[in-house]
A and B are shown apart, each in its own frame.
Chain A
């Protein structure tokens, strides 16, 4: 740096005077770090806000699913169990009498699904009596009569095709409607009901 002469124009000496005034390295570093910290803070804050948004979206999705499950699976239990209890109390005449599920199936050939032997009602303890068409929630269903061989009690047993949207959403449920105990469960894509 050129040192100004002792007597120099005011402008020149003012420049020289201010040129000697500098921030220390430590001060410069501190000020420059403000920009770095600010970028890091912004990124962190962006990450945090994204995280918060994702959590909010996840919570909303969970809430929506819960509402969907409660409304679409829960409410049908009430309606279906009422229909099952009503059919059970009506004691309607069976259209076909047979101990064989195949015979009942061949008679009820407009069901649109195959009747199954439930894993919960094993062959040794239970025996089919007969069957007829009925409807559950406006859908065609099979109303079967089944006898418990131990107690000789007759139960009304229902099988209906489960709508796709309820697949794996129906949980086992047991309710009591008009003095009738109704047990419902899902098996092989069918909605099963047992009234006693």
Chain B
């Protein structure tokens, strides 16, 4: 009854927000229908939760991520690699970012390369390139240690150069 006296929180899903979320979902699942479903589900959760407008995007991104990984885990038993074991060698963030920035690629080959990447790698690249997150922000968003993320990026860069020498070039 007391809800009657409490004004309902007005939530506005702007086109820009929805498209950002869709792209993020797409970076995870790579299927437009599934990405749309993930966005819709996150909208429903935000409405149910009554999330404040300024916290909408991080909340919905977390919803999308959690839901996708739940679905993914159910659908497939994946080989879990303890990446911490591989992170013994400390990686310098600035160095890794510089290496990534130096990679030149043909626009037409981007989607081809993305298809060969793992979900974690695609998400990492999306948050870094499109959302413009720092490694610390990505660590907070994905709940993955910053060192692990840097190692992942470093390995990714090497793999791109090895797997796609004809598509990817490094500029000095």
B129 near A15 (CB under 8 angstroms)? yes
Complex CA gap A27/B25 in Å reads 15
A-B contact count (CB 8 A): 104
Given known A-B contacts A31-B18, A32-B18, A35-B43, A16 and B11 have beta carbons under 8 A apart: no
Most buried by A among B26, B43, B107: B107
> Does any Cβ of B come within 8 Å of A11's Cβ?
yes
The listed residue (A18, A34, A46) touching B4 by CB distance below 8 A is A46
* B12–A35 CB distance below 8 A: yes
B8 in the interface, Cβ–Cβ < 8 Å?
Answer: yes
Contacts of A49 in B (CB 8 A): 1, 3-4
- Asked if A9 and B104 make an inter-chain contact with CB atoms under 8 angstroms apart, the answer reads yes
Choose from A4, A11, A38 the contact partner of B128 (Cβ within 8 Å).
A11
Whether A14 lies near B4 (C-beta < 8 A) is: no
Q: Closest B-chain residue to A10, C-beta based?
A: B103
From known contacts A34-B44, A43-B8, infer whether A21 and B129 are also in contact, taking CB-CB under 8 Å: no
State the CA gap A18–B44 with chains docked (Å): 24
Shortest distance between the CB of B90 and any CB in chain A (Å): 24
- Beyond A32-B18, A35-B47, A38-B47, whether A7 also contacts B26 by CB under 8 A is no
Interface string of A28-62 (1 = CB under 8 A from B): 10111011001100110010011001000000000
Across the interface, which residues of B come within 8 angstroms of A4, CB to CB?
Answer: 107
Contact present for B110 and A13 (CB under 8 Å):
yes
Q: How many residues of B contact A (CB 8 A)?
A: 41
Would you call B43 and A34 a contact (CB within 8 A)? yes
Would you call B140 an interface residue if the criterion is a C-beta within 8 Å of the partner chain's C-beta atoms? no
Q: Does A92 contact B (CB under 8 A)?
A: no
Interface size for chain A: under 10, 10 to 19, 20 to 34, or 35 or more residues?
Answer: 20 to 34
Question: B11, B22, B101, B110: which contacts A38 (Cβ < 8 A)?
Answer: B11
Give A124 to B70 CA distance when docked, in angstroms: 96
Please determine whether B13 and A13 come into contact, CB atoms closer than 8 angstroms.
no
Q: Say whether B106 faces chain A, with CB atoms less than 8 Å apart.
A: yes
A2 close to chain B: CB less than 8 A: no
Q: Is A7 in contact with B13, judged by CB distance below 8 angstroms?
A: no
Do the beta carbons of B110 and A23 come within 8 Å of each other?
Answer: no
Q: Mark B1-25, 1 if CB is under 8 A from A, else 0.
A: 1011000101111010011001100
Nearest Cβ on chain A to B26's Cβ, whole angstroms: 5
A6 and B100 form a contact (CB under 8 A): no
Given A10-B105, A10-B129, A11-B128, A18 and B100 contact (CB-CB distance below 8 Å): no
- A11-B129, A13-B106, A28-B18 given; name 19 further pairs at CB < 8 Å: A7-B169, A10-B100, A11-B100, A14-B126, A14-B129, A14-B130, A15-B130, A21-B23, A22-B22, A23-B15, A23-B22, A28-B19, A34-B40, A35-B10, A35-B12, A35-B43, A38-B47, A46-B4, A50-B1
B interface residue numbers (CB < 8 A to A)? 1, 3-4, 8, 10-13, 15, 18-19, 22-23, 26-27, 32, 36, 39-40, 43-44, 47, 100-108, 110-111, 114, 125-126, 128-130, 168-169
